[in-house]
Structure formats: C-alpha cells, structure tokens
Amino acid sequence: MMLALAVVIATAFGAASTPFAQAAPGPATPVRYSNGPYVAMGDSRASGGFFTPTPDYFLGCKRSAINYPSLVAVMTLPRQFIDTSCAGAVSANLYSAGQPTRFGRKPPQVWLVPRDAQVVTVSIGGNDMRWGAILGRCTATPFADRFCRSNRQLAAETNWRINLMEGRVTPALRAIRRKAPRAQIIVVGIGGFMGNHGCWPMVPVSDPDVRWMNGVFDRANNALRRATNKVDGTFVDANRLSAGHDPCNLINPWYESSLSNGSIAYPYHINQAGAIAIAGMVNAAIRR
C-alpha cells in the first residue's frame, strides 16, 4: 500500500500543468518558490477530515497526517511548513476571529503566517456558503426527484449564499496578502463530489439535480476565483479537475460518499486518494 501511495505521489509531483489553475496579474509579482516557508490555511478540505491517529487529528481541528497540505510539503520540501487548517473554519477564522473547538479556542490562522512565506494555500468558503443546506434540499429517496433545478426559491437562496461567500472570503484573502506580501496565494476551490449522475445511497440525488449541484459549485468557484484575483493569487478549480472521481466512481473516488459517518471520514469530503490528487493540482500551480 505504501509503495502504491508513493507511486501516486510521484505521479502527482510530476504533473506539468494545471489547465484550470489561473494566475491573476497584479502590480506586485509574488516570489518564485525556492523552498521557502509554506503555510496551509483553511477548513476541513485542507485539514483532511479523514482519520489518522495523530495529535493534530484529536486536538479540535480534525487535521489528518496525510492531508493535501502535508503531501504538498512532501512534494515541495519547504524549509518551514506550517499547517493552520481547522475543520469547521469560516473566512473570519482566517484573520479576524478565533475558532472555538472542543479542545479550546484557536487563534486566527493568519497569526501564524510568517511575513516571508513563499506559498500560502487556502481552502475556504464552503462553511460560509453552507453548501450542505442546499444539497440537503436535493436529497431524495430511491428513484425520486426533488426538482432542485427548477426551484426558484432555492435558486435565489443559492445566489445569495454564493454572494455572501465571496463577500466574506475577499477580506480574508486580503488580510493574508497583507501578512505575506510576496507569497504565492493559491486558493483551492470547492466541490468535486457531484458528478453527472447520482447513485443511491452514496449520492442520493437525482441525475438532473446532481448536474444542477455541479453547476452550483462551478458558480461558487467563479466567485472564489474573483476573490483570488483581487489578491494576485492563483485559483485551482478542484471541482472541474475532479470530474469523474465523485463518490459514484466505485474504483477511484476522490471524495467520501453520504454513507460516511463522520468518525472515520466526513461525508462528501476529500479522501486519501483525493488528498493526493489535490496536492498534485497545487504542486502544478506553484511557480518556480
């Protein structure tokens, strides 16, 4: 198993380009990476959310030992690696508000960002948007259809949630830019766990509504891309790059299904194969 893991990591490390990783132009060009400090920030998509028997997992943030930031660190060999990610984080927890956890309050994550950071990865926005509240309205019994795609009230609520997320993520990214003025800020998008069809009970959503939800994540990622552009960052569109690896793929899924009970892995969150894949996307986006 470890040999297979090493092969997959090596394959991801060798990725030459990422078609949906887009760097925005700006007056202050971030430094090229030269093994300087790397900081990982964000919510459960960064922390991992899948079980590893390590202190970082148990101390309130569900931080897995093989989350995608840890794998990026293996690929890039920074002289300093700082992982501030914490499950449940919202944008405010990155820069302006401490995050309460079962094991005490965590300080704003930006406090741990050194000024000379060369790379900062950020996974945030899902908890601000609360995508689960949208998806929950689409969940159906076998062979049923909730018709989310034609629900005008839900469409309006979805637009409101996406706009709210963009308005909250933007100042968080700006605070990171102020703290690390020359860092490459790489924002990893949300989604990836909705494909072209449902598969009850792993993804208990009708095929048309699954495609609608995938479109919701595309629009949410466009909002995150706009926020990223405002800080001269690079956006990695994990939703599009994960196509075909949703939980309905029984051979190589990158995301857990709705059947995950939360103690071993969070439902609809990145699994270990997904962590390797996301790390490869991020590694390909780093300018050297």
Q: What is the pLDDT of residues 29-45, one digit of tens each?
A: 899 999 999 999 999 99
Q: Determine the pLDDT at residue 26.
A: 44
Is the bond preceding residue 30 a cis peptide, omega within 30 degrees? no
Q: Would you say residue 4 has pLDDT above 90? A: no
pLDDT above 90 coverage of the chain, percent: 87
CATH code for the structural domain at 2-285: 3.40.50.1110
Which of the pair, 155 or 263, is modelled with greater confidence?
155
Reported confidence tier of residue 263, pLDDT bands at 50, 70, 90: confident
Instruction: Give yes or no for residue 231 having a pLDDT over 80.
Output: yes
Encoded tokens for 273: 């194969």
112: which DSSP letter?
A: G
Q: In this predicted model, what pLDDT tens digit does every residue of 200-216 receive, in sequence order? A: 999 999 999 999 999 99
Distance of CA 48 to the CA centre of its chain: 9
Interatomic CA distance for residues 172 and 130, integer angstroms = 17
Q: Can you read off the two tokens belonging to residue 17?
A: 């380009």
CA distance 124 to 146: 28
Please name which of 101, 104, 110, 141 lies closest in space to residue 231, comparing C-alpha atoms.
Answer: 110
Task: Break the chain into its structural domains and give their ranges.
Answer: 2-285
Q: What is the mean pLDDT of the chain?
A: 92
Q: Cα separation of 64 and 264, whole Å?
A: 11
Q: What is the mean pLDDT of residues 106-133?
A: 98
